[in-house]
Structure formats: structure tokens, C-alpha cells
């Protein structure tokens, strides 16, 4: 899925595939270790994160509890902070840029199911990648759906459900999330302007 045009397209897969189930179990063991580790044991935590993810940059930190399906489909840049109770369903690739901040209870769902009942009964799953640019802030309790790209320096307001691409340098809020304004270059912090 990496490094080619196919990574940007939705796909289907068999939920009962034995090889996939083996990969899921590997990730679950690592996630279980990660969530049980002593918070002061940074060295062990970083070793688990390096083994779990496709790649993870410098100064990346995830608060417990964290959950994912595979881990190996997740690629995280430098200076990433993820607050409590994050879930990343990564049947498809998740790419997170540098200098990103996730509030608590953020969920990224690349996985889905067919709309038609027959597809669901036949154990068919769907997947579409998520790409998050550099400098993105995703507020608490947001859901990012598969197939979405969030541009550099965007801000997603707390509680939003992102079902479509968000352009760079914008603030998006709501369910479904909609862009409410642009972020001006070198804009000073002013809470009254945010939402």
C-alpha cells in the first residue's frame, strides 16, 4: 500500500483472512504491553512504539490508553503528542506529519464495512487511507474517517466528525466538519476567533 497511487484508493478485504488475523494479534500484544507500561519507563515505551508502528519520529508521545489494529500501517512524524484514549483503525495507511497534536478521545478510522447487508454478512471490510499534514491540531473527541486528507496547519474543533478533506490553514468544526474560516499567516492566539 505504500509508495504508489493505490494507497489513495479505497479497497475491500476479507475479514477472515488468516494472515491478517495473525498481524492483528501481533499488534494487540504490543498495544497491551504499551498500555500497561510504567509511565516513567520512556526507554521501554519508545522501543514498543518503534516495533508497533511503520515509523515514528523523534519526540513523539502517546498517553494511555492507545489502540490500533495493525500499527505497521501507521507512520508518525516528529514532535507528535497524542492525549488519552486514542484509537487508530489502520487497515489502510495512516500518515501523520510533524508537529501534530491530538486531544483526548481522538479516533482515526480507515476501516469500514459495505453498505449492503450481503457484503457485511460475507465478512467484507473496506479501507481507505488517512493523511494528516504537518502542524495539525485535532481537538478532543474528534473522528477522522477513511479517505480524508487534512492539510498542513489545519485545526479541527473538538467533537467534529471529519468526512471530507480539510484544506491547509483552516479551522473546521461540526458533524460533518465544515471549514468555518482560514488561519492567517502568523496569526496570534485569540480564543475568541477560533470558533
Catalytic residue among 113, 119, 137, 174: 113
Q: Which of 68, 35, 38 is nearest to 54 (CA)?
A: 68
What does the block give as the cell for 73? 500501517
β-sheet with 101-102: strand ranges across:
61-62, 81-82, 101-102, 137-138, 155-156, 170-174, 177-182
Rounded to 5 degrees, φ, ψ at 63 are -80, 155
> C-alpha distances in angstroms, 154 versus 69, 119, 132, 144?
26, 35, 9, 13
Q: Is residue 1 exposed (0-12), middle (13-18) or buried (19+ Cβ within 10 Å)?
A: middle
CB 107 within 8 A of CB 142: yes
Cβ partners under 8 Å of residue 135, min gap 6: 97, 98, 99, 100, 152, 153
Distance (Å, whole) CA 181 – CA 44: 42
If you search the block for the grid coordinates 476479507, which residue do you land on? Answer: 14
**Annotation says 73 is catalytic:** no
| Residues annotated as part of the active site | 113
Amino acid at each position: 500500500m505504500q509508495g504508489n497511487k493505490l494507497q489513495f484508493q479505497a479497497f475491500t478485504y476479507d475479514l477472515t483472512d488468516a494472515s491478517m488475523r495473525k498481524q492483528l494479534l501481533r499488534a494487540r500484544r504490543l498495544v497491551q504491553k504499551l498500555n500497561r507500561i510504567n509511565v516513567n519507563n520512556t526507554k521501554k515505551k519508545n522501543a514498543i512504539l518503534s516495533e508497533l508502528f511503520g515509523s515514528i519520529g523523534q519526540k513523539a508521545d502517546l498517553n494511555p490508553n492507545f489502540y490500533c489494529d495493525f500499527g505497521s500501517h501507521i507512520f508518525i512524524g516528529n514532535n507528535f503528542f497524542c492525549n488519552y484514549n486514542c484509537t487508530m483503525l489502520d487497515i489502510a495507511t495512516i500518515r501523520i506529519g510533524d508537529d501534530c497534536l491530538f486531544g483526548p478521545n481522538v479516533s482515526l478510522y480507515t476501516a469500514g464495512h459495505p453498505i449492503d447487508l450481503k457484503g457485511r454478512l460475507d465478512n467484507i471490510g473496506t479501507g481507505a487511507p488517512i493523511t494528516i499534514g504537518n502542524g495539525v491540531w485535532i481537538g478532543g473527541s474528534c473522528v477522522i474517517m477513511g479517505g480524508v486528507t487534512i492539510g498542513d496547519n489545519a485545526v479541527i474543533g473538538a467533537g467534529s466528525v471529519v468526512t471530507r478533506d480539510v484544506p491547509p490553514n483552516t479551522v473546521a468544526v461540526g458533524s460533518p466538519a465544515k471549514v468555518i474560516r482560514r488561519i492567517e499567516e502568523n496569526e496570534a492566539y485569540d480564543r475568541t476567533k477560533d470558533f
